[in-house]
Structure 1
Amino acid sequence: MKIIIKILAVAAALWVATQLVAGITVTTETTTKQIGTLLAVALLFGVINTVLKPIIKTFGCAFYVLTLGLFALVVNAGLLLLTSWIAAQVHLPFHVDGFWAAFWGAIIVGLVSWLLDLVFGD
C-alpha cells in the first residue's frame, strides 16, 4: 500500500511540474491517458531513483559534502532527464526539455512529494 501511495504522490508531483515548468510536457489527447502516462512515469522515476541514487550518492559523496548538499539538486535534475529519455524509448509521451527545466522540475517534484508525504504519512 505504501508503494501505491508513493507512486500516486510522485504522479501528482509530476503533474504539478508539468503545469508550472514550461519545459516539462505530457502530450496526450485525453485526461485518462495523461493520468496513465503520469502513473507510468512516476513508476519509472521511482525505479530509477531506487537503483541509481544510492550509487550516485556513494561515488559523489565528496561533491555532496563540498556543496553542502546542493549537488543533490543537480543529481535529481539528471535523474529526471534520464527518466524523460527512457520514457521516450518506451514511447511514453513525457518530455523534459533541457537541464533547467529538469532542475526546476526536480525541485517542484521534490517539494510536492514531500508535502504529500507529510499529509498522507508513511
Structure 2
Amino acid sequence: MMGIIVQWIITTVAILVVAYIMPGVRVAGIGGALVAAAILGILNAIVRPILVILTLPITILTLGLFLFIINAFVFWIVGSIYSGLRVDSFGTALIASIIVSIVSFLLNFLFW
C-alpha cells in the first residue's frame, strides 16, 4: 500500500514538473496534479495493456518505439477527460509523456 502512495506522489511531482516546463500543459494546482496522477495510474493499469496487445505488431516492427505513442495517447486521454489537466495537442502529450517518464524514473531511482 505504501508503495502505491509513493508512486502516486512521484507521478504527481512529475506532472507538476511537466506543467512547469512545457507551455502546452497546464494543471490546476497540486490537487489537480494529484487527481491527474491517479487517473493516469488507473489508465496505465487498465487501458495501456490493452493498447499494447492490440498494437503489438507495429510495436515489434518499430522495435518498441510505438510505446512512446501509446504513452502519449494515455496522457492525452487524461488531459481530455479531466478538466484539471490541460494538454494542447498530441505532440505536446508526446513530449510531456517522455518528460513524465524521465522524471518518474529519476525520482524512483532516488527514493527506492
TM-score (structure 2 length as normaliser) = 0.95
Matched, 1:8 2:6: no
Q: Which has the higher contact order (CA 8 A, sep 6+)?
A: 1
Matched, 1:108 2:108: no
How many angstroms does 1:22 deviate by? 1.2
Identity of aligned residues (%): 32
Map 1:1-122 onto structure 2 (within 5 A): 1-27=2-28, 34-88=29-83, 93-121=84-112
Letter in 2 for 1:10: T
SS at match of 2:82: helix
Letter in 2 for 1:110: S
Letter in 1 for 2:98: I
Figure out how many residues of one structure are paired with residues of the other and give that number: 111
How many angstroms does 1:35 deviate by? 1.0
Within 2, Cα distance between the matches of 1:46 and 1:108?
16
Unaligned runs of 5+ in 2: none
Within 1, Cα distance between the matches of 2:79 and 2:42?
13
Unaligned runs of 5+ in 1: 28-33
Equivalent residue, structure 2, for 1:31: none
**Structure 1 vs Structure 2 CA RMSD:** 0.9
Within 2, Cα distance between the matches of 1:72 and 1:20?
23
Within 2, Cα distance between the matches of 1:119 and 1:39?
20
Runs of 4+ in structure 1 off by over 2 angstroms are none
How many angstroms does 1:63 deviate by? 1.2
Within 2, Cα distance between the matches of 1:60 and 1:19?
32
TM-score (structure 1 length as normaliser) = 0.87
